[in-house]
Amino acid sequence: MSTPKKPRPPLRFSKIAKNHGDVRAVGPVSFTVNAGESVALVGHNGSGKSTLLAIAAGVLDPSEGNMKVNGIDAGEPAARAAVSYIRDHPVLYEDLTVREHLDYLSRLHGSTPEAHNADELLNRLGLGGRADDLPSTFSRGLRQKAAIAVALCRPFATLLIDEPFSGLDDAGQRALLELIDEIRAEGGSVLVATHDQGALKRFDRAVVLSEGELVFDGAVADVPTH
């Protein structure tokens, strides 16, 4: 019997900092997100939440520090394959229908929409009747829902979502929170950047940023009120 290796956390931010020219945008910040855990990254506009998410997704390189996804450098193909990332302003192609997006992105990640119950997913998000429409005809909220569907229709270990609640209606928010719970229950992890205090209580943990610095990391119940 070999001793089990210490599991590598899905996300490990080690002294991550990002500068824009001479201006420090965020950091240095260190924290981890563990398997089966949902973490809310909280802070005001400009506190650095989106920057950290983009670094975890591998689409932005940190100026300092070390970002690991399952022990692999963020941005490496295997690291990118492990995270599914929904931007603040989701990017979708104007000339592809929702279904074509689902189909393309799931195949790109070696899967199929059917393997992720795409139709049921669309129904739960209230997009059941819109699968064959072009997202360019959608409102902001619908686009957000389409982007969520696309992000969930592929294999991943960690879901990164930037400000998911601002554009969503109540039903959409409920559906998303349920989906997050399911991901967590299946051992996946979720990191959500939000300034929405209302949704906080549904998360396991909160990391609070203020002006680029980490000011709190702990149970949601203990988050200091302003």
CA of residue 144 relative to chain centroid, distance: 13
Q: How far is the CB of 105 from another protein (least distance, A)?
A: 7
Q: How far is the CB of 56 from another protein (least distance, A)?
A: 13
Centre a 10 Å sphere on the Cβ of residue 153 and count the other Cβ atoms it contains: 25
- Identity of the residue, 61 or 178, whose beta carbon is nearer to another protein in the bound complex: 61
Binding mask 23-62 for another protein (x = CB under 8 A): -----------------------------------xx-x-
Give the separation between CA 7 and CA 71, rounded to whole angstroms.
9
Q: Establish if 216 lies at the interface with another protein (CB under 8 A).
A: no
Would you say 119 and 149 are in contact if contact means Cβ atoms under 8 Å apart? no
- Identity of the residue, 102 or 125, whose beta carbon is nearer to another protein in the bound complex: 102
Return the C-alpha torsion angle 72, 74, 80, 85, nearest 10. 130
- Identity of the residue, 18 or 184, whose beta carbon is nearer to another protein in the bound complex: 18
Give the separation between CA 119 and CA 158, rounded to whole angstroms.
22
Percent helix, strand, coil in the chain, to 5, is 35, 25, 35
Q: How far is the CB of 202 from another protein (least distance, A)?
A: 26
Binding mask 83-122 for another protein (x = CB under 8 A): --x-x--xxxxxxx---xx-xxx-xx--------------
For residue 219, give the amino acid letter.
Answer: A
Structure tokens at 192: 């959500």
Q: Which of residues 166-205 bind another protein (CB under 8 A)?
A: none
Could you list the residues that contact another protein (CB under 8 A)?
Answer: 58-59, 61, 75, 85, 87, 90-96, 100-101, 103-105, 107-108
